[in-house]
Amino acid sequence: MAEAIRNVMKGKREYAPELVFGSLQGDNPLTEREKEVLRLVAEGKTAKEISQELYLSSGTVRNYISEAINKLNVKNRIEAIAVAKEKGWM
C-alpha cells in the first residue's frame, strides 16, 4: 500500500489487480443466436428439439454449438455452457 502511495505521489498510476483482470476478460464473443442455442442445450434439449423450437435445421443448430465451442476455446458443449455462465454471457 505504501508503495502505491509513493507511486501516486510521483505522478504514476496505480491499478487494482482485480479491476485489471476483469477488463482482460473481454467482450462476449457469442452471437445472440449462439447464446440462445447454448441456453437451450443447458436446459437439456437435444439438437433436434432445439431445431424444432427455433425453426432451424439440426445441422444449423450443431453448427451454432460448434461455433460457440470454438469461440470459447473449450472441448465440449458442457464446458461452453460453464464458461459462458461463469463470465455472465448467458
Q: Which of 32, 54, 50, 51 lies closest to 41 in space, CA to CA?
A: 50
Domain of residue 15, residue span:
2-86
Q: Give the residue with greater pLDDT, 51 vs 3.
A: 51
At 24 the pLDDT is 47
Burial-class residue 71 by CB neighbours within 10 Å (0-12, 13-18, 19+).
Answer: middle
Output the pTM of the full model: 0.70
Cα–Cα distance, 38 to 86 (Å, whole number): 13
Q: Give the residue with greater pLDDT, 14 vs 77.
A: 77
Tally of domains in the chain? 1
pLDDT digits over 38-78, tens only? 999 999 999 999 999 999 999 999 999 999 999 999 999 99
CATH number of the structural domain spanning residue 81: 1.10.10.10
Is the alpha carbon torsion for 58, 44, 65, 52 positive or negative? positive
**Position 10 pLDDT exceeds 90:** no
